[in-house]
Amino acid sequence: NGGANDPKNLKVKLVLLGDSGVGKSCIVLRFVRGQFDPTSKVTIGASFLSQTIALQDSTTVKFEIWDTAGQERYAALAPLYYRGAAVSIIVYDITSPESFHKAQYWVKELQKHGSPDIVMALVGNKADLNEKREVPAQDGIDYAEKNGMYFIETSAKTADNINQLFEVHSHISTLPLN
């Protein structure tokens, strides 16, 4: 009957967090529209998009995606978006150690103030810029493992691992929803 708890028709509130410029909006646009726009605009405050995907067993998963701005001046707004989220995707840029450091700040913030059963994923984006890499994949893997998070490297530019990132969460979402 289409309710949120109907196993055939799931709804997942998802939030993207991470430093400004790491590619959060591009990840969402790649997932929702299948596009990459290198001239995309900086997110102001936060933006909302939704996307429904079908799984093999005919279950559909509607992602309600909150894409946050990342700038310091909006940090106080972040709880509005991560509160009640079932999934949080924390993004850094593999060419930026500062952004990896900032990702760790968000993990700690969610551990302190997020829902205790929020599912967290750590995402190293811009994997296409491997020749400029400054964050070894192993550092991401180790940090994620220590904090009970999923880990994946993506490229919004080439689409590498973007669907895989969201598919992981659609399977998680068969667990009780909040």
As a whole number of angstroms, the distance between CA 96 and CA 101 comes to: 9
* Of 70 and 114, CB closest to ligand GDP: 70
Does position 25 interact with Mg ion (CB under 5 A)? The reply is: yes
Of Mg ion, ligand GDP, none, which one does residue 114 interact with (CB within 5 to 8 Å by kind)? none
* Phi, psi of 122, rounded to the nearest 5 degrees: -105, 130
We find the least distance from the C-beta atom of residue 24 to Mg ion, in angstroms, to be 5
Does position 99 interact with Mg ion (CB under 5 A)? The reply is: no
As a whole number of angstroms, the distance between CA 22 and CA 120 comes to: 17
* Of 41 and 112, CB closest to Mg ion: 41
With CB under 5 A as the contact rule, the residue among 17, 43, 110, 114 that binds Mg ion is 43
We find the least distance from the C-beta atom of residue 55 to ligand GDP, in angstroms, to be 25
111: three-class secondary structure by DSSP: helix
Q: Closest residue (Cβ) to ligand GDP?
A: 23
As a whole number of angstroms, the distance between CA 48 and CA 119 comes to: 19
Does position 125 interact with Mg ion (CB under 5 A)? The reply is: no
Q: How many CB atoms lie under 10 A from the CB of residue 110?
A: 22
